[in-house]
Chains A and B, each alone.
Chain A
Amino acid sequence: MTVLRPLIIGLGLLVVWQAIIMITAAPPFILPSPAAVVAVLIERADTISAHALVTLSEILLGLLFGTALGAISALVMAHVTAARRWLLPVLVVSQAVPVFALAPVLVLWFGYGAAPKVAMATLIIYFPVTAAFYDGLRRTEPGWLDLARTMDASSLAILLRVRLPAALPAFASGLRVATAVAPIGAVVGEWVGASAGLGYYMLLMNGRAQADAMFAALFVLALIAVTVYFTVDFGLRRLLPWQPDADPVDNDPALQRST
């Protein structure tokens, strides 16, 4: 069933899509049929996959840098009082500036290559990771801290051996959110100024009124986003085996209606 369910959902969406075309009689340059999109996908597989690879690497690099920076910031803020006082307001102000508004600036600084897109993705990922991880680091069970103090642990040992592992589930939540929004950063970066990537390709096809190619690129982008998300989610579950299943409702018949 777990394999079948997404297939049925996908098939259902295709049927709805086709039905809308038949009912509204939308012309192909507004809404192409699923068959046309699949045809383009096969026909231009080389071009689209080349662009997809660019976007995918931007997303992955953004995830890497954003997560690393976010994790380090949260740890420093949790450990050093002065850093907390100075960094926390900066963090909040940084979120008051719309990241998308920074895209042209980033292109101005870093040029038309991958760098501004990676920077965009990094900026978007940085905040949820930092906020969630820092929050987790602050909310350590007070009893554990008391116990560690009676064991003569240094504050660094408490941070690394008690507070850090205890905050990993919160960190994982932040990383999941970040993973879901990471493709937005990359694509917006590509829209502002690029010579490659799925976002760039979609704009290009838009200019040529090739709706079927736009939809093909969109489909691949969605596929990348979903794949990256589930890969990260799977990895996090493997990393945190002590955490009870993320969704207790799924395992408790009293909390749900059966399907």
Chain B
Amino acid sequence: MRDRFPTQPTQLPAAIRVSGLRAGFGATDIFAGLEFTAPRATWTCILGTSGIGKTTLLRLIAGLLPITAGQLATDGPVAYMAQQDLLLPWLTARDNVLLGARLRGEPPDRAKAQELLRRVGLADAADRRPAALSGGQRQRVALARTLMEDRRTVLMDEPFSALDAITRLRLQDLAAELLTDRTVVLITHDPLEALRLGQRIQVMRGQPATLTDVLQPPGPTPRDPTRPAIAGLHRQLLDRLTGETGSAIEGAA
């Protein structure tokens, strides 16, 4: 099976394999033969401008959108974390963390939910409703809810972009710490976020969208993106992102 994915050579076993993927809305193809592999227990960041198809790829992997053609395989079910916290306003923080169990009709593991809330620093807020929490606290609850699902693969759609700078840094650190042994696909439009959290970074560009080759910044995550070695990579990523803009203009002309 693995021989069928020669475009992304990697030593690690893949958690997500996408090959020859075609998908789109109506007559427009967003992807026409997309290749993508996410190795197990690794953070892969997909960087791209708005509307390029990042979210579509994530929704396809999560099984929320149908694929037109191609192959898509995941290493078991996935957990999904979006830009909005998606907390249910009528449930307390703890019951929001337990949402998956409630929806599947499983007995809720309240002790585990409480422990996860403690790990995201919200042990005292378990009985509060989302309206009584700040934006950062709400996204922490969403992180705890994601961890509660206990899935090997976690898909993250810009989960930190609606937060203020300090809260974002803290939450990035927390997510990097708590999801360190998981396969994570994080999509973002922020090169610095990708450099801070990604063990592998790929830029998505063009229409139909394609992914550039993998950039692997050195050092453990979360990194300090202002380090000189990383700053050079920042330049490279920006070039790749803006290179897409040039070809798009050519294509339009």
Contact = CB atoms under 8 A, between A and B. Distances in A.
B88 A144 contact: yes
A139 B149 CA distance: 26
B198 to A, nearest CB: 22
Looking at chain A's contact residues, is the secondary structure mostly helix, strand, loop, or mixed?
helix
Contacts of B84: 143
B62 interface: yes
B55 to A, nearest CB: 10
Interface stretch (A62-70, A88-96, A148-156): A148-156
A153 B64 contact: no
Contacts of A240: 90
Contacts of A244: 131
Contacts of B99: 147-148, 151
B89 interface: yes
B163 interface: no
Interface in B190-210: none
B86 A143 contact: yes
Given A146-B64, A146-B80, A147-B80, A161 B103 contact: yes
Given A242-B89, A242-B129, A242-B131, A152 B82 contact: no
B77 A146 contact: no
Contact of B103 (A141, A153, A166, A242): A153
A165 B99 CA distance: 13
A162 B80 contact: no
Given A143-B84, A242-B131, A150 B103 contact: no
B79 interface: yes
Interface of A: 141, 143-144, 146-153, 157-158, 161-162, 165-166, 168, 240, 242-244
